[in-house]
Amino acid sequence: MKSDLVLIDENNIAHSTFTTYSYETDCFSEARLAFYFQIVQEAAGMHAAMRGCSIPDLHKEGKTWVITRSSMEIERYTCWPEVIKVQTWAQEPIRLHLPRVVKGFDGAGNPLFTAKTHWAIIDLDNGRPLRPMDMSLRIGLPPADDEMHRLDMTLPRRQEDESLELLCTFKPIIAYLDTDRNLHVNNISYLNWALESLPSAFRNRCKVSSVDVSYLRQTFLEDDLIVSTYAPRKEALFSDEPTLQHTIVRKEKDGTSTSVWQGTTTWKRREELR
């Protein structure tokens, strides 16, 4: 099955192509991390749409998709105007989640990134997750003997570490364009806010080489959020390969706080990811 934008082969692998446009790059003409996350979102959405289970399709059935966890390993960032070849496929459900893999390659077939995502199907009436087996049958899985497209999709449990040092905070202003078709904040906005909390001198020297984020609660236009970044040492932003912990917390009207998003980023010097 194919359209002008995506081809689904006989193994239920969806293939699509993206271009690194100038407005998706940073001041070094290198792709932004958010652009890779946008590719993941778009590739997954197009694959689902080809199978009749996009978000608009599911809304008609009283359901919707939400992403609950996303991890990505980055080998290299493309530069303007490189082409990115993308493959994506679903895997066997894990409890109430339908895992999906998205892989990006450059024009020569060299790997750029591998993303592992966990998605849930939510009943719009009661907000509860539905069992994903029916959806996996609708989307289609690779054949059981296709070892190349069978990855371990178990993501590690997050560990709380109270000894971390607070490095910086950031208070985002939620804009209309941060919201999506589910009328809550799009998953990519959280990541952008976490990166925006970091000083430009650090981001000019380093880029993210791996990222693992969890979406804990939905947030909306009127919410009051604070982004915080932590590390084991105060000097982490002066090193070349730090691991940073990020949290986004919502201040509730009764004065309490609710954690809505958590993430871990590992960094390398820019030249190592070119």
Residues counted in the chain: 274
Same domain, 25 and 75: yes
Q: What CATH number is attached to the domain comprising 56?
A: 3.10.129.10
pLDDT computed for residue 2 by the predictor: 45
Which backbone phi and psi does 7 adopt, to 5 degrees?
A: -120, 130
- Note down the domain range covering 40: 6-146
pLDDT computed for residue 162 by the predictor: 76
Q: Are 198 and 229 in contact (CB under 8 A)?
A: yes
Q: Are 70 and 116 in contact (CB under 8 A)?
A: yes
Same domain, 111 and 172: no
- Per-residue pLDDT of the chain (274 residues), as tens digits, is 445 679 999 999 999 999 999 999 999 999 999 999 999 999 999 999 999 999 999 999 999 999 999 999 999 999 999 999 999 999 999 999 999 999 999 999 999 999 999 999 999 999 999 999 889 999 999 999 999 999 999 998 887 777 899 999 999 999 999 998 878 899 999 999 999 999 999 999 999 999 999 999 999 999 999 999 999 999 999 999 999 999 999 999 999 999 999 999 999 999 999 9
Strands (DSSP E) contained in the chain are: 6-8, 14-19, 63-74, 83-90, 98-105, 111-123, 129-130, 165-170, 206-215, 225-231, 243-251, 257-269
pLDDT computed for residue 159 by the predictor: 76
Out of 115, 146, 177, a domain closes at 146
In a domain, 156, yes or no: no
Out of 101, 117, 146, a domain closes at 146
Q: Amino acid identity, residue 255? A: G
Same domain, 32 and 114: yes
Same domain, 248 and 135: no
* Angstrom distance (rounded) from CA 204 to CA 154: 33
In a domain, 11, yes or no: yes
pLDDT computed for residue 1 by the predictor: 47
pLDDT computed for residue 125 by the predictor: 95
Same domain, 20 and 138: yes
pLDDT computed for residue 116 by the predictor: 98
Same domain, 114 and 176: no
Same domain, 223 and 114: no
Query: What b/e readout covers 147-171, taking b as 16+ CB neighbours within 10 angstroms?
Result: eebbeebebeeeeeeeebeebeebe
Element (H, E) at 194: helix 187-196
Q: Amino acid identity, residue 26? A: D
Q: Are 218 and 184 in contact (CB under 8 A)?
A: yes
In a domain, 44, yes or no: yes
**Cis? peptide before 142, omega within 30° of 0:** no
In a domain, 160, yes or no: no
Same domain, 181 and 253: yes
**DSSP per-residue codes, 135-168:** HHHHH----TT-GGG----PPPPP---TTPEEEE
Same domain, 198 and 72: no
Out of 83, 115, 146, a domain closes at 146
Same domain, 11 and 134: yes
Same domain, 11 and 141: yes
Domain count along the chain: 2
Distances in whole angstroms, Cα of residue 44 to Cα of each of 99, 141, 209: 11, 13, 22
In a domain, 151, yes or no: no
Same domain, 134 and 208: no
pLDDT computed for residue 3 by the predictor: 53
In a domain, 1, yes or no: no
